[in-house]
Every structure is written in structure tokens, then in C-alpha cells.
Chain A
Amino acid sequence: MTKWNDILKNRHLPAVLLALIALVLPLVLRNEYYLHLAILILLWTALGASWNLLGGYTGQVSFGHSVFFGMGAYVSLLLHTKLGVSLWMGLLYAGIAASLIAIPIGWICFRLRGPYFSLSILAFSEVLRLIVLHWKEVTEGAVGILLINSIVDSKVSFYYLMLIVTAIILLVVNFVVKRKLGFYFIAIRDDEEAAEALGIYTTRYKIYSLMISAFFTGVMGSLFANYTSYIDPYIVFSVGDVAIAMVLVVVLGGIGTFWGPLVGAICVVMVNEGSRLMFANASVLIYGALVVIVILFLPKGVVGSLKQYTGKWFHA
């Protein structure tokens, strides 16, 4: 009996259970549409977790993560279609490319604080979208890029690929926030002047946070491109459908919490699909209503509010 008690009290239990459910899900969900929804939830969990590292843990709210998403999508597909680089390597290059452009972007944008940072990074996303749109010789411009053979061929394999990448991102976030890097990120979020007095080069650490966040966002951009097999500048650099949606996922789920992105992703995907079935294309309206509801009733997001009531159930 005590053994069972130990297992039940283990704080890794929710994570282990979730992992098990995720592993057997395709065996249960025979329906392609449900599998598609599961893939979307993974996609948004991973994107939310990437954004959360910078926005939630480091306190730097970005409205322009589409710049890294689009960069990742384009880098991997262009390397593949133009130079024949494998799509697997493309995932890695997508992350590296996004991480590298994060350096100058961070260097410039982190001179600004608060809302000015949030918006200036959005400007970079728009600039990159325009470059891709007009540099037709390389990027095909508005025509976009069509992928004939995706990285894996079946939906089930795609689900597992997405699951592995999402799990890696969550594990890395969990690893980072428990170490010096994570302590420094949170210190910067809580009080920048205090952080500096304690020897933290705040701009440098914000750039580190942005680089990690951008790396994963770039990888997810590449995975997304593989999943849809088609990208154009309007889709992958979309401020509304990518950048703001990432913010929404995290704010809904619980900013700066570990499980927030997953909870937020489930909510957003469900609401999105539900509203599409009921009201055709009213998703923007629904998003708006959701944000208002969260701000009014759950200012800390679903997980943040639960945490208040249940104490240490979810660890930060």
C-alpha cells in the first residue's frame, strides 16, 4: 500500500500519465480528424512553451514570434527544394537560423522595454515577411513553396514526430528553469534593477532566452511547413495566426507556468475548431472574447489560477 501511496504522491506522476496517454492516443483515435486535432494541440503546446520561456519566465512579452516561425519554415523548405538538404537536417538548420537572427533582433529590441519591446519585434516579423514576399528569385514570393514529399508520410508518424519534439522542448524548458539560466531569467522578470545588482548582465541573458525561444519556434515552423506541405509569406509570418496566437495560448493556459502552454493549446484548438463548426470564420471574434474572459476572470490563466487554489500541484 505504501508503495502505491508513494507513486501517487510523486510529483512527476501527472507528466508520466500524460506521456502514456500521448503515446497510445493514435491507437485509440482511429479518426484522421481527431489525430489532426491532436497534432495541432502538440504544435501549439510546443510553440506556447517556446514563447513562455521568454514571455513567461523572462518577462519579455513578444508580439512578433512569427519572425522565427517563418524563418524556420522558409529555411528548411528552401534548403530542401533548392539545395537538396534533407528535411531532417532542415529541422536543425531551421532552429539555428531562427536562433541566429534572434541575436541582432534582441540586441536592437532589448534596448526598448515593456510594450516597445513587444511591438518592435513585431516590426521585424513584418520586415522579414516583406523581404520573403519580394525576393522572388530565391523565395518564390507570394507563390509560396510546395513540398512534394514531406519529412514523414503518414499522419500517425507525423503525430509521433511532433510528440517527440514537443516532449524535448518541454524537457529542455524544465531543465533550464531549474538552473542558473532559469533563475537569472526569473530574476530579470521580477526586478531588473535587483538582477543587475546581483551581477546579472540583463541584456545578455534576455538575448540567451530569446535565442532558445527562437530556436524552438524555428524548429516548429519547419515542422509546420512539413505538415501542411505548403507555405507562403502570409501564412508563416502571420502576426495574427502565429504571433498573437502564441501569446494567447500562454496567457490562456497560465503565463510563466510549466503546464500553461498545454492547457492553453487544448483550449485554443478546441475553441477554434468549435467556432469554425458553428460560426464559420468567426475565430478572431472568439479569440477576442476569450482574451477578455481570461483578463476578467482568470488573470493568471487556467494553470496559474488552479495553482492558487491547489497549492503545489503544478510546479512552476
Chain B
Amino acid sequence: MLLEVNGLTKAFAGLVAVNEVDFTVQKGEILGLIGPNGAGKTTIFHLLTGYYTPTAGTVLFNGKDMTRVTPPAACRLGLTRTFQIVKPLVQLTVLENVMVGAFAKIGNAKKAKELALEILEFTGQLACKDMLAGNLTLGMRKRLEVSRALATQPELLLLDETMAGLNSKEIADAVKLIMKIRERGITLVVIEHVMKAIMSISDRIVVINYGKKIMEGCPDAVCNDQQVIQAYLGADYAKR
């Protein structure tokens, strides 16, 4: 078991954002994490990578207790996340952004650059390597989050809505990229609102609503679950 989450809870003043959530991630799989807006998905990523300290519960990564881990330590242990609200290093170029990620495991600038170039080729961003990250379109920024995280050579990659705001062609590319990342031997947990995409890439799906896990299963089972349709699709889809 690569990741084991047990009774994970985060309470803010007056609000339990994550409430006794359990799930596991097997090596090599893609786990989808879905739920309506404000369900607590991003908070779970914050908890796994040390941006928040859990109020209760445990996280084991490769058997190692992660409940008190700091964000940089999580990354160096092989657990890297991206940000839903993208955080490009705006005064660096795309290549330099990815090099910063590469330096997590590589000390030498030349070797870091080699890895960064290889990653940019892999994610299809080589053409814009010399552009300032601050000048990229949203789609490119979302992808840069992924490239940069990949450069840290993670074992488990947490992607937070890397498809939000993309057009259908970009979404198709993003789906292909995620499948390629898995082929690279990297395990993924993917938060996504784009239903068709998340259903097509995930091996299993965990559904969160009001901080609680309400369902877990294969995409088909989740799609046909009455509780999910009511709580999630009912509430969220009705709005669109």
C-alpha cells in the first residue's frame, strides 16, 4: 500500500472541512477524488502534504507517518502536489520553473536542465520553454504545474483540478498526459470536476460530500450510485 489515510479530520473554526475520511492508494493506480464545490477535496491535499496539520487521523506514505510532515519534506519523500489556484514562478521561464522542481533530487544545474527539458518534451511544453511563466495562458499554467511537479520525480502525484477552465481539446490532451504519467510508473490521485474525464482515467473513485466520504468504487458503480447522484450530481449538475 502506497498511501493509507485513516480517520483524517480537519476542523476550522466552526466548520469541519474534512471529517473522518479513510482511503488507500495502491501503487500504480489512478484514484479519482470528486465531490461538489467546498466538499473538502483541496483540504485533503493540504493535509497530505503538510500545508495543514490534521485535527485527527493518520496518513501513512510508504509506511511512514506523514501527520507532522512539512511540505518540502513531503516532496522529498516522493509525495508532490499541484495547486488548484496555479502558482507559477512568474519571473522565471517555463524551463527555469521546471528546473526548480528538478533540483529537489538533483544538485547540478546542467543535469537539472537536462531532466527539465526531458519533462517539457514529455508534457508537450518544449515549444514555450523560454517564455516567462507569468505570460502563459491558463491552460499552459495548469500544465506547467504538472511539469514542475513531475520534475521533482515523485512516487505519488496529487493533481488538483488541472483541467478546470480548459477547452475540450486541452482536456483531451490532459487526459492523455495523465495516462502517460501513469505509464512512467507514477501513482496518481486526481481531483477533477470534469466528469467524463475523471470517469475515463480513474481506476477507482472516492466521493466526498460535506467533508465526509460518501462512496468509493469503480467509475461505473459511482455513476450509478443513487446517493452520489443525489448529493453530488444532483446538487452540482442542476446548477450548470
Contact = CB atoms under 8 A, between A and B. Distances in A.
A179 B108 CA distance: 8
Contacts, number: 83
Contacts of B89: 186-187, 190-191, 194-195
Contacts of B91: 186, 189-190, 256, 316
B100 A197 contact: no
Given A183-B100, A184-B100, A197 B90 contact: no
Contacts of B92: 183, 186-187, 190
Interface string B79-103: 0111100011111100010011101
B107 interface: yes
A180 B49 contact: no
A180 B90 contact: no
A275 interface: no
Nearest to A183: B100
Interface residues of B, number: 30
A199 B83 contact: no
A9 interface: no
Contacts of B76: 199
Interface string A136-172: 0000000000000000000000000000000000000
A189 B96 CA distance: 14
B41 interface: no
B94 to A, nearest CB: 13
Contacts of A199: 72, 75-76, 80, 101, 103-104, 152
A183 B99 contact: yes
A275 to B, nearest CB: 34
B124 to A, nearest CB: 21
Given A183-B99, A184-B100, A197 B80 contact: yes
A193 interface: yes
B100 A187 contact: yes
B107 A180 contact: yes
A186 B91 CA distance: 8
Given A178-B109, A183-B96, A190-B92, A201 B103 contact: no
Nearest to B153: A199
B87 A201 contact: no
Nearest to A182: B109
Given A191-B90, A197-B75, A198-B152, 7 more contacts: A180-B107, A180-B108, A183-B100, A191-B88, A197-B72, A197-B87, A198-B104
7 contacts: A183-B96, A184-B103, A193-B71, A194-B87, A196-B71, A198-B104, A199-B72
